[in-house]
Amino acid sequence: MLTKRIIPCLDVTLDRAGGCVVKGVEFVDLKEAGDPVELAKRYNEEGADELVFLDITASAHGRKTMIDVIERTADEVFIPLTIGGGINSIDAIRQILRAGADKVSVNTSAVKNPDFIKESSDIFGAQCIVTAIDCKRNTDIKNNPDKTILELEDGTPAWYEVVIYGGREATGIDAVQWARRAEELGSGEILLTSMDRDGTCAGYDLPITKKLSEELDIPIIASGGVGNPQHIYEGFSIGKADAALAASIFHFREYSIKEVKEYLREKEIPVRL
């Protein structure tokens, strides 16, 4: 049986010092969480299976991803490193992989130009291309008969709308349909983040996580809302995700990666200790 992956996420913004890890709630109200290189080094030592590094303001500010921070991070970690944020060209992917990344995460650029997924996958291989999908619940089902309607925890019917530019712009695109298309175009994984749950510590958005995990053949990384190890367990057992991404509980030392993995092992979730 394949082991489930635990992936700390470093949301990074550019500052005068060159880069700072931040954490917010529903993509806003950001607060500083530390130096990206130091945090990456700590997670590598603690037993993280992978790291995701997201330059969360690159697309919105129209700038390139921070190559220097990536290089310094790659020098300190020996586990797979996925980089995302502002990646919109083959040349950018090549630079990031050369800087030490193992995978790239594309989001806004892929929504704007879906063929970018296929082109990237054809050149670098599907294993290098992660499609990040940020989505938000939309309960207006009356005017959206073509959308994939799911039942929320309280029984409310809703569809999930793709948002881009760090949650600043709604697209009208159905997240389930977009995920299927990303897989068809050659994406190797989906990084699914629920904007409604981001930073809330209320647990993953299980209806959309479960739907994508059941619908797609490629791995689904659950993201957004972890407040304790039980939430990660639910992401695997109910959401059927292949990997669990978390930020706050690790950044602020509420739980260590080892504690989370030991909890999951006790719950009979296969993890690498």
Residues assigned a catalytic role: 11, 134
β 5-13/129-138 pair status = unpaired
The answer to whether residues 1 and 242 touch, using CB atoms and an 8 Å cutoff, is: no
CA 114 to centroid of chain Cα atoms: 18
Q: Which helix (H) or strand (E) holds 52?
A: strand 51-55
The answer to whether residues 75 and 110 touch, using CB atoms and an 8 Å cutoff, is: no
Spatial distance between the Cα atoms of 95 and 114, rounded to a whole number of angstroms: 21
What's the Cα-to-Cα distance from 117 to each of 20, 73, 222, 253, rounded to whole Å? 28, 25, 20, 36
- Token pair, residue 79, equals 């586990």
**Among candidate residues 244, 236, 225, 85, the one with its CA nearest the CA of residue 164:** 85
- Token pair, residue 68, equals 């220097």
Q: How many C-beta neighbours within 10 Å does residue 265 have?
A: 13
Q: Which helix (H) or strand (E) holds 91?
A: helix 90-98
Q: Which amino acid is at 162?
A: V
Length of the chain: 273
- Token pair, residue 205, equals 């958005």
